[in-house]
Amino acid sequence: MSFLVLDHVGKNFGPQTAVEDFSLSVGKGEFISFLGPSGCGKTTTLQMIAGFLDPTRGAIRLEGRDLTTVHPSKRGLGIVFQSYALFPHMTAAENVAFGLEMRGVARAERETRVRDALAMVGLAGYEDRHPRRMSGGQQQRVALARALVIRPNVLLLDEPLSNLDAKLREDMQIELRQIQRNLGTTTILVTHDQIEAMSLSDRIVVMSKGRIEQIGTPQETYEKPASAFVSQFLGKTNDFAATVDGTTSPPRLAIGAWHLPAPAGVSGTVTVSVRPERTGFGDTGLAARITTRIFQGNHWLFQCETACGTAIVIRPNDGGAQPAEGEAVHLTWRPEDMSLRPAGDRP
């Protein structure tokens, strides 16, 4: 039985549709990310789960209980906001204890749980420190401890790491995932950061214009995107126009002047997508010329021009010789590394 269910949920603000036909079943202990650009409806969906917004249609159920008429404070959810929303006049311990006080937890138990929660997020010894004397990463940990100390049914995270610098954000991603795995708390994260979603999630819900584009594991959504939007939003991708030649046996897939076996059941004109790191150089393949070569530390990035448009190739920096700018090459890849979609599907 699914732990949290969103059943054809939608939200309108007047004539404007913010979320349309959103259906998702979340398992207990699962880490789900809502991923998409600004305005795609991911935060609106999170706020409907939290109870801050009422759905225009559809239902939200937690362990079979309809949450539609349940007050946010009665849903048993923990929430970490982008701004952390800490009380500046309270110490770290007082901030973490606030939710327990509101729930009438006895003082002795409250003190124990606050101490344990702060230790869990690496802030043992910071109990008496005020937010103004803490770094952004430390404030984020206090907000996380405050959400977890109430032992929520579901933890909701609204872009909690977006205010941190790149190195600290990466460190906090690792710590957040470890904490979530240790506690087994069902977690939903809202983010526009593709790397963050892929690093943390069991499954990703990719959203665009209020609708779900794809639901899948990080590997599924990255390697087998269901639409042009997913293909382009989740990292770089190479798109090539191709035609299936059904007059040959077996049928051949023509990409420019390069012909390779066509996947079963494919016909007509299609778009072939291949990730740059799965695109390589070979003796045969799609003819190209390198226009730009960039060294990026652990890998090289090549921009190439082909008869089918511009393509990117990413090769690991293994110490070997690399093609030079202006050099004629052939782009190639394994058949299993490409995905096909209708030719009219555009991001």
7 CB neighbour count, 10 Å cutoff: 15
pLDDT of residue 339: 86
Rounded Cα distance between 90 and 80, Å, is: 17
- Contact between residue 226 and residue 213 where contact means Cβ atoms under 8 Å apart: yes
pLDDT of residue 325: 96
Rounded Cα distance between 231 and 275, Å, is: 9
pLDDT of residue 344: 67
Match 């050099």 to its residue by tokens: 327
pLDDT per position in the chain (347 positions), as tens? Answer: 689 999 999 999 999 999 999 999 999 999 999 999 999 999 999 999 999 999 999 999 999 999 988 999 899 899 888 777 888 999 999 999 998 988 889 999 999 999 999 998 888 999 999 999 998 888 888 988 998 888 999 999 998 887 777 777 888 888 888 888 988 999 999 999 998 999 999 999 999 999 999 999 999 999 888 888 998 898 889 999 999 887 777 888 999 999 988 887 788 898 899 999 999 999 999 999 999 999 999 999 999 999 999 999 999 998 888 999 999 999 999 988 988 888 766 55
What pTM did the predictor assign?
A: 0.84
Bridge partners for 338 per DSSP: 274
**Domain boundaries, given as residue ranges, for the chain:** 4-232, 236-342
CATH 3.40.640.10 fits 4-232, yes or no: no
Amino acid found at 333: W
Phi-psi region of 19 (alpha: psi -120 to 50; beta: other; left: phi over 0): beta
Helix axes 107-120, 136-148, angle to 10 degrees: 130
Rounded Cα distance between 252 and 248, Å, is: 7
Q: How far is CA 269 from each of CA 241, 252, 340, rounded to the nearest angstrom?
A: 7, 12, 10
- Contact between residue 142 and residue 134 where contact means Cβ atoms under 8 Å apart: yes
pLDDT of residue 49: 97
40 CB neighbour count, 10 Å cutoff: 24
Helix axes 166-183, 136-148, angle to 10 degrees: 20
Rounded Cα distance between 35 and 207, Å, is: 6
